[in-house]
Amino acid sequence: MKIHREGFKILLITTILLAAINAPLSIFQAPEWLVNSVLILSILFFVIVLQFFRDPKRNTVLNDKHIIAPADGKVVVIEEVEEPEYFKGKRLQVSIFMSPINVHVNRNPVSGIVKYAKYHKGKYLVAWHPKSSTENERTSIVIQAKNGQEVLFRQIAGALAKRICYYVKEGQTAKQGAEMGFIKFGSRIDLYLPLNTPIKVSIGQKVTGGESVIAEFI
């Protein structure tokens, strides 16, 4: 399993900081129990950070009728809402919460043309807060699928996330399942779909980014 490029700098800084903590204990001959305890805690902390930036290979079965999960996590919202930024009307929202132990690579839910891509600065409310969709740091991406229907998906920073990365631009061709971004630490993604879209998941269900089918176009 490879490590995502967004993690290289953080892993280097983590390594330097942990070395700076552990080295003086050995140099100044601290008690062996203290040296070993700090070393074990340092290794555990490094492994936690390392696993957060893992980038496993995903096998996306391309299907123009499917809307696939843009991220790993748990489905926490399925409801009809008002989408004020792009559609300015009613849409069906499906939200996926990503905990710090989930893979945080984000993927295109459909193939098509990127019609809209905008980054918003914002707060860092917990990702499940009702206002996180409109007040937190976030991006809004709209892809027009091959059938002409548009899907909006929104990367939302959580209480721990301080940076959202996205790699798509307006006018660009998007491939279903291809990487489109990354969110550092806990966060969520909202999908906004046409109201009559059949949903294939349920509240509390765990999904896999790039593989799980969230919904189907009619």
Name residues whose C-beta falls within 8 Å of residue 9's C-beta, 6 or more positions apart in sequence.
Answer: none
How many angstroms separate the CA atoms of 214 and 198, rounded?
9
- What pLDDT is attached to residue 160? 60
Task: Give the mean pLDDT of the chain.
Answer: 91
Sign of the dihedral through C-alpha 89, 90, 96, 97: positive
CA 83 from centroid of its chain's CA atoms: 20
The catalytic residue among 111, 132, 187, 212 is: 187
Whether the per-residue pLDDT at 209 is higher than 90: the answer is yes
pTM of this structure: 0.85
Residue 128 has pLDDT above 70, yes or no: no
How far from 188 is each of 39, 131, 161, 196, 211, CA to CA, in Å?
A: 33, 12, 10, 23, 17
Active site residue 187: yes
How far is the C-alpha of 126 from the C-alpha of 188, rounded, in Å?
Answer: 10
